[in-house]
Amino acid sequence: MYNSKIIGVGRYIPKRVVTNFDLEKMMDTSDAWIRERTGIVERHFADVDSGETNSYMGAEASKIALKMAGLQASDIDFIIYATLSPEYFFPGAGCGLQQKLGIPGVGALDVRDQCTGFIYALTTADQFIKTGMYKNILVVGGEVQSTGINLTTAGRDVAVLFGDGAGAVVLTRTEEKDKGILRGNLHADGNFMKELSVENPGSGTHPFVDVEMVENGSIFPHMVGRMVFKHAVTRFPEVIRETFADAGLPVSDVDLVIPHQANERITEAVQMRLELPREKVFRNIHKYGNTTAASIPIALSEALEEGLIKDNSLVCLAAFGSGFTWGASLIRW
């Protein structure tokens, strides 16, 4: 059986910066309130009217990852795209990315696991490579959430959290047994589906969408914040410990944990529960907010640029999100 390793990473951040002060003009909130509860200072919103769509951002991030990997788009055997916000209800963003990269015929799989989407996508790609089905897989996390949140006082508790962006990695086959993805674990608990969800539009109603849905706000994200926080600070350290145990390694061996950037308060709680120093838990939520499936690959790209990941570094990626879903991936760089 083969192993898989990341050989290229890239990110794309929309040009438009939206600060907390900008949000103060749209809703009854404040910079101090947002910073205190989330750690977010600013986020970026895509200009979709000018073509800055989800798959466009994914393609730009992919080009950077491919360049780092020393590969052409034509070298990619398969695409896995994690997103909750494709341009169309169907088809998925993976096909849009394939078209933009000019590689028709290459399979494109979309993953809908929200904040845990990139971990699910990466773990799936790892299995395709380990079994020998594919050699080079492009794994992308991308989101345009700014067009789907309620930017008024009624939606402020959720709206202040989210931003747009995309990140990509190139995963390739290797015969090195001590490098690459060492272990991945995925979990879900559908008993909490409604605690963090967008109810409409969906096939559970006829028609998919109507005026009432718009008027009652069910087309916007709904979150029971206390419930999400409670489960996140439990599941994050739980799955990280599980993944290290499965790899036969102590958590203290980690060089860097890159958690999904959901909320600075959650990250602080996870760091304390794992008994890790602050410098071993990566943070960039202050710059981008919660970019859902894009947050981990964006953070991974920045961590590499900052020199926090070196050859032989032990890196753990972990996420928790809607579903509830959660997972972790342990990588020897």
* Structural tokens at position 197: 């969800």
- Neighbouring C-beta atoms of residue 187, cutoff 10 Å: 16
Query: What is the DSSP secondary structure assignment for residue 309, as one 8-state letter?
Result: -
The secondary element (H helix, E strand) that includes residue 300 is helix 295-305
Question: Which one of the listed residues 54, 95, 290, 316 is annotated catalytic?
Answer: 290
Contact 103, 74 (CB under 8 A): yes
Q: How far is CA 175 from CA 19, 61, 95, 278, in A?
A: 46, 27, 30, 34
Q: Which of 20, 115, 231, 316 is catalytic?
A: 115
Catalytic residue, from 20, 44, 260, 263: name it. Answer: 260
Q: Is 44 a catalytic residue?
A: no
275-286 burial code (b ≥16 CB/10 A, e <16): ebeeebbbbbbe
If we measure between CA atoms, which residue out of 219, 218, 201, 223 comes closest to residue 322?
223
Query: CA separation (Å) from 184 to 9, 172, 250, 312, 328?
Result: 19, 16, 15, 18, 6
- Total length of the chain: 333
- 115 catalytic, yes or no? yes
Residue 290 annotated as catalytic: yes
Chain position carrying tokens 């898989």? 4
- Token representation of residue 23: 């949000």
Q: Active-site positions?
A: 115, 260, 290
